[in-house]
């Protein structure tokens, strides 16, 4: 009986805590709002794309979002909307579709903030992975619809099943492995672009067709007129070469085999 009793007061206390946090934060957040807009822009431009401070601060904001802090959500939105929307726009090349995907990404953050585990990855990585998956799914659906319309006369149906929930892969990540990798995310946008531009042409094309054109490995092979196996090994080699070009990542264990 004593054990059961705690559930009701517990929830109440949590709500009181959330309300108090919001009451305390609202004026301060209001004050900082102006500055934050500028900050988000600066942060987007700043040479390191991310610092460990930002990571810690993001984790704090997500904890507050889990307590349903609208202000914390707004701060995080201001910080990453540009990057998230930029990725959507790059893939979908359509304003309305990109906005829809961006909106859905942030809504997922709002709904699943309490499940978010900072040890499994940082918020930016989470947001970018989600928006990438959703944009690619949207792109494939769009393409499939077009193909469907073309094939209607011949009676074929090429519409693939709906994309998988993008959060799904987050749950399978290993904490230890991630802590190791997160340390490398502090590399400038410029250097990453140079590294990609410096890949051999066939490798770069595989990466770009997969990443930004939403093609599957078979479609890439078809598009490039190469055997599927070649596409597979090029994708893998491309990742290894990028690691080589960005020495912050340290040696790749499988590099010698490649």
Which CB atom, from 7 or from 153, has the smaller least distance to other proteins?
Answer: 7
Q: Does the protein bind other proteins through residue 199 (CB under 8 A)?
A: no
Please report whether residue 189 would count as binding other proteins according to CB under 8 A. yes
Q: Which is nearer to other proteins, 156 or 248 (CB)?
A: 248
Alpha-carbon dihedral 175, 178, 180, 186, rounded to 10 degrees: -140
Q: HSE, CB side, 13 Å, CA atoms: give it for residue 65.
A: 25
CB 212 within 8 A of CB 86: no
> Is the Cβ of residue 57 or residue 151 nearer to other proteins in the bound state?
57
Q: Give the alpha-carbon dihedral of 234, 240, 245, 250, to 10 degrees.
A: 180
| Between 115 and 153, CB nearer to other proteins | 115
* Other residues' Cβ atoms within 10 Å of the Cβ of residue 96: 8
Element (H, E) at 11: helix 7-45
| Residue 116 or 207 having the CB closest to other proteins | 207
Find out whether 115 and 168 touch, Cβ atoms under 8 Å: no
85 binds other proteins (CB under 8 A): yes
CB 30 to other proteins: min, Å: 11
Q: Using the rule CB under 8 A, which residue among 76, 77, 118, 199 binds other proteins?
A: 77
Write the DSSP assignment of 133-198 as a string of letters. HHHHHHHHHHHHHHHHHHHTTTT---PPPPPPPGGGGGGG--HHHHHHHHTT----HHHHHHHHHT
Residues 41-60 that bind other proteins (CB under 8 A): 44, 49-50, 57, 60
Q: Which of residues 136-175 bind other proteins (CB under 8 A)?
A: 136, 160-164, 168-169, 172-174
Q: Which of residues 108-137 bind other proteins (CB under 8 A)?
A: 110, 121, 124-125, 128-129, 132-133, 136
Query: Closer CB to other proteins, residue 151 or residue 237?
Result: 237
Distance CA 17, CA 190 (A): 43
Nearer to other proteins, 13 or 153 (CB): 13
Minimum CB separation of residue 153 from other proteins in Å reads 25
Q: How many CB atoms lie within 10 A of CB 90?
A: 13
- The span from the CA of 170 to the CA of 153, in Å, is 41
Q: Which of residues 216-235 bind other proteins (CB under 8 A)?
A: 216-218, 220, 228-229, 232-233, 235
Interactions with other proteins, residue window 1-40 (CB under 8 A) = 1-3, 5-6, 8-10, 12-21, 23-25, 28-29, 31-32, 35-36, 38-39
Residue 87 sits in the site that holds other proteins (CB under 8 A): yes
């Amino acid at each position: 009986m004593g054990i059961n009793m705690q559930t009701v007061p517990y929830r109440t206390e949590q709500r009181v805590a959330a309300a108090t946090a919001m009451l305390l934060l609202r004026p301060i957040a209001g004050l900082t709002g102006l500055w934050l807009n500028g900050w988000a822009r600066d942060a987007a431009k700043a040479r390191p794309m991310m610092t460990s401070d930002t990571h810690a601060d993001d984790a704090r904001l997500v904890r507050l979002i889990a307590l349903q802090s609208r202000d914390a959500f707004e701060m995080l939105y201001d910080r990453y909307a540009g990057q998230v929307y930029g990725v959507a726009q790059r893939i979908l090349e359509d304003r309305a579709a990109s906005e829809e995907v961006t909106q859905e990404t942030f809504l997922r953050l709002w709904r699943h903030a309490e499940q978010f585990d900072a040890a499994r990855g940082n918020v930016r990585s989470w947001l970018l992975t989600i928006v990438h998956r959703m944009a690619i799914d949207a792109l494939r659906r769009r393409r499939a619809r077009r193909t469907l319309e073309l094939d209607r006369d011949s009676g074929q149906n090429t519409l693939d099943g709906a994309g998988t929930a993008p959060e799904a892969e987050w749950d399978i990540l290993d904490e230890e492995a991630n802590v190791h990798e997160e340390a490398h995310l502090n590399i400038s946008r410029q250097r990453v672009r140079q590294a990609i531009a410096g890949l051999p042409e066939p490798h770069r094309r595989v990466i770009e067709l997969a990443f930004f054109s939403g093609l599957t490995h078979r479609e890439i092979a078809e598009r490039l007129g190469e055997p599927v196996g070649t596409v597979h090994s090029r994708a893998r080699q491309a990742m290894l070469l990028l690691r080589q070009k960005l020495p912050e990542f340290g040696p790749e264990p499988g590099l010698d085999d490649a």
